[in-house]
Amino acid sequence: MSKAAREISEGLRQWRAEGESGDLSQCPVRGVLDRIGDKWSTLIIITLAEQPLRFGQLRRTIPDISQRMLTQTLRDLQRDGLISRHVFPTQPPSVEYRLTAMGQSLLEPLAALVRWADTHYGAIRGARSEYDQQAA
């Protein structure tokens, strides 16, 4: 078993030993992964890693996200403490979004995931193609 697999197994054992039901639908990691696992949250976090941005700048940087989805995802990330929203007293008010310290701490694991995806993208495309050919 790999070191990573042992760490995951140990985390699950510890969670279950702390009196949890053992029902994986109640696992606390699941709520975190639900947030950072969706494509918009990850893209927004990666985009804000470079610099704080206003709503319109985010929208232009991620052109395929709808205004409604961007608004909701920003609220969700703010609620989870990963980004902060700063309102400046200008006319009209200017709003800027930036990563919090907790959001910054997520960049290292996200960078590892991005590297992994980049390294394995060709193999994944090949596996998908092979699977699709067999399924047809």
Two tokens, residue 37: 């696992």
Model confidence at 92: pLDDT above 90: no
**In the chain, how many domains are there?**
2
* Together in a domain, 10 and 61: no
Based on the fold, state whether residues 63 and 117 are members of the same structural domain: yes
Same-domain check for residues 15 and 53: no
Tell me: do 79 and 99 sit in the same domain. Answer: yes
- 69 and 7: one domain? no
By the 8 A CB rule, do 82 and 102 touch?
yes
pLDDT digits (tens, 9 = 90+) for 108-134: 999 999 899 999 999 999 999 999 999
Residues 11 and 23 grouped into a single domain: yes
Confidence category of residue 24, pLDDT binned at 50, 70, 90? low
Domain boundaries, position 1: 1-27
**Do residues 10 and 77 both lie within one domain?**
no
Same domain? 7 vs 41: no
Assess whether 128 and 64 both reside in one domain. yes
Quote the pLDDT of residue 131.
96
Q: Are 82 and 99 in contact (CB under 8 A)?
A: yes
Please compute the mean of the pLDDT values over residues 52-78 and round it to a whole number: 96
> pLDDT band for position 104 (50/70/90)?
very high
Identify which has the larger pLDDT, 114 or 1: 114
Backbone angles phi, psi at 73, to 5 degrees: -65, -40
| Between 22 and 5, the higher pLDDT residue | 5
CA distance 18 to 70: 37
Q: Does 92 lie in the same domain as 49?
A: yes
The pLDDT, as a whole number, for residue 20 is 55
Same domain, 60 and 124: yes
Cα–Cα distance, 18 to 21 (Å, whole number): 9
Token couple for 3: 């070191």
pLDDT value for 126: 96
Is residue 67 domain-shared with residue 127, that is, in the same domain? yes
State percent of the chain over pLDDT 70. Answer: 91
Query: Whole-prediction pTM value?
Result: 0.80
Q: What is the CATH number of the domain that holds 101?
A: 1.10.10.10
Cβ(97)–Cβ(83) below 8 Å: yes
